[in-house]
Structures are given as structure tokens and as C-alpha cells.
Amino acid sequence: MKPIIGRAALAYLFLALANIAYAGEVPYNKTQFDEQIAAGKPTVVYLHAAWCPTCKIQQPIVDRLSSDAEFKSLTVYEADYDTETALKKSLRITQQSTFVVFKGGHEVARSTGETTERAIRKTFEAAL
């Protein structure tokens, strides 16, 4: 049986996907998050819900900012508000559409319900 995709194309696809993840937005992973915070790296946790109209407005803004060269060193963890109950409890988050910003291993900013790029950018800048 002939493979659907060749080795070179598969390698290219893998590198492209790795670059997308490196651009800043990654799914929430507790171990990676804990390591990131312990190392003092600039980090944002974004709790969102698929059903949330505010989150739907925020998502394209988060996508743009995450790929912006200004935020190259920033990791944005996207976490599902409905399933990440332990994370919500540990960060004391009571509402979806919330950003929690860390710098130097400590929380430095928090924002809920912001829908303008300017306000979300300012929140992200707190991590730098």
C-alpha cells in the first residue's frame, strides 16, 4: 500500500505544527505550566468556553497577539473553563473569558471580559 503522504511532506507538516505551537498559544498542560511558572517565564493563562460570546470575540485577538513578534517570549495557555476545574480553583477564577498573567513566577495581572485588542494587549504586556 502506498503511503498517503511522503516522508518529506510529513517532516514539513511536523515542523509547521511545531512552529504554530511555538508561536505562543498552547493547550493547557499542568506540568508544562508549572515548569513555565517555576522558571519565571512570561505566561498567560486564558480560560475560555466554547459557548461564551465574549470568548468568541476574544479568540481572534488572542490568536493575533500570540503570533505577534512583540510577544514571542510569551506563552499563552488556553484552558477550557468547563473542564479545568482544578485550575480554576487554584487560580480562584469564577468566570470564563479570564486572562491571568505571570511574570517572574508570580501573578502580575488579571483581566476578565475584555474584548478590545488594546485592553488585551495591555494585559499581555504585563508579562514582559
CATH superfamily name and code, 24-125 = Glutaredoxin (3.40.30.10)
Q: Is the pLDDT of residue 10 over 70?
A: no
pTM of the predicted model as reported, rounded to 2 decimal places: 0.79
b/e 58-75 (16+ beta carbons within 10 angstroms → b): bbebbeebbeeeebeebb
Q: What is the mean pLDDT of residues 96-116?
A: 96
Per-residue pLDDT reduced to its tens digit, 23-55: 467 889 889 999 999 999 999 999 999 999 999
- Residue 7 is predicted with a pLDDT of 57
Q: What is the mean pLDDT of residues 65-75?
A: 92
d(C-alpha 58, C-alpha 98), whole Å: 10
**pLDDT grade, residue 15 (50/70/90)?**
very low
d(C-alpha 18, C-alpha 6), whole Å: 18
d(C-alpha 2, C-alpha 22), whole Å: 32
Residues near 96 by Cβ (< 8 Å), separated by ≥ 6? 47, 48, 49, 52, 54, 55, 81
